[in-house]
Structure 1
Amino acid sequence: MTETRYSNQELADIFQTIANLLEIKGEVIYKILAYRKAADNLRDYGGNVYTVWQDGKLTDIPGVGKAIADKIDELFSTGHLEFMDKLSEEVPPSLAELLEVPDLGPKKVALFWKEIGITNLAELEAAARAGQLQTLPGMGQKSEAKILAGIESLSRRTTRTPLWKAWPLAEELLTKLKNFPDVEKAAAGGSLRRMRETVGDLDLLVAANDSSPVMQAFTSLPEV
C-alpha cells in the first residue's frame, strides 16, 4: 500500500464527520464525544501528526487513544478508512451537508432522515417547501421557514457542489478507472477524501503503470 499524507486539518475533518454521522445514527454519546475530542485535538495540535505517526508516537497526542491512533495509522498507511466505509453504508454521508444549514444540528437531521427519508440538501428544501417538516415532532411553520431561509443563505455563500451530488459521480468514475488495464489503484482525493460537505473539484488519485493511455481513456469518458 502507498502511504498517504494528511494534514492535521484533514484528519480533524474526517473525525469530525465521523462524529456527526455517529450522532445522526444515534450512537452512544461517549463514542461521539471521543471522535469530537480527537478532531478538536488534531486540529489544535501544534506539531505535525504525520511526523508523530512516522515516529510511532500517535498516542502521545492528547485525546488520541489506541482506537483513534489505529484509524490514523490506517489512513496514513492506506489512504483509506474501513470504519468510514461501513459507517457510510449505515448513514448516508450526504447527511453531513445538512449540518451546514444554520441552527440545524445532528438531532434534527436524524429526525428528518428517519421520519421522512431526507438524505441531502435538495430533499430537505423540497420537503420544507411542501410543508412536510412542520408536521414532525418539535417542528412548526416558523421552524420550517427558518430552515428554508438558512438553505437560501447557504446557497448564496457557495458555488461548490454538495457532497451528495459529487459523491455518486466520483464513485462511478473511480469504478471505471479501476477497470482500466493499466490502473493499479484509484481513490478519491481532496474534499471528497475528507468527506467535506461541499466539493470544489473532483480530485481522483490514480496509480498506473503507464499514465498516457489512462489519461486518454479517462478524458474520453462521457462524464468528463
Structure 2
Amino acid sequence: MSAEVTERQRQAAHGSPGKIKTAIASAAGTCVENYDFVAYGTAAALYFGKVFFPNTDPVVGTLLAFATLAVGFLMRPIGGAVGGYLGDKYGRKPVLVGALLTMGIATVLIGCLPTYGQVGILAPILLVIIRMIQGLAFGAEWGGAVMMTFEHAPWKQRGRFAAIPQAGKPAGHHPGQRRLPALRLPTDGLGLAVAVPRQLGPDRRRARGADEARGIT
C-alpha cells in the first residue's frame, strides 16, 4: 500500500512519463478539429449559399449558410458533456480517437452531399444533421484533450500543460481560412470531396501555373 501511495505521489509531483507526448498529441488533435470546423465556416461564406440555398437572395442564402455554422457551436457544449461522461467511463484516449474519426467522416460526408438542385430541401437538412454531428465531435475532442493533458501533467504545472491543446487552435485556423478560399470550387453540383483533391492535385497545379503564365487568373 505504501509503495502505491509513493508512486501516486511521485506521479503527482512529476507527471506521467508520457506527459509531453500526451500534450503534443492533444494539440495536434485540436489543430485537426479546428481546421475542419473553420473550413466549414469558410465554405459557408463562399459556397454553401449558392449550393444549398440557390432559390433565395444571395445575402439571405449566405445568412442561412451561416445559420448552419451556428448549429455546430450550439452542439459543442453537449458534445463536451457527452465526451466527458464517456471519457470517465471508458477512458480519454478512445473518446478522443472516436471524436477525431467522427469529425473527419462528417467533413468528408459534407463534401459528398448532393446539392439543392439535385435533391431539393433534403440537401440542407442533411447538411444541418451532419453539422450537428461535427459540433458534438468537436466538443467531445476539445474538452477531452484538455482534461487528458491536465491529468498527465505535474500538479504544479497543470495549468501550463492544460493550455497546450489550445495552441492547436490557431494552427488549425490558418489553413482553414487561407487555403480554402484559394481553391476554385464549383457550385454546380460537383461534390467538394471530389473538387478539392482535383484543385490540390499536381495536374491542377501545373494547369494553374500555365494559366498564370498566360495571364489567366
Instruction: Give the structure-1-normalised TM-score.
Output: 0.26
Greater strand fraction, Structure 1 or Structure 2: 1
Q: In terms of Rg, which structure is larger?
A: 2
Q: What is the TM-score when the length of structure 2 is the normalising length?
A: 0.27
Of structures 1 and 2, the one with the larger relative CO (CA 8 A, separation 6+) is: 2
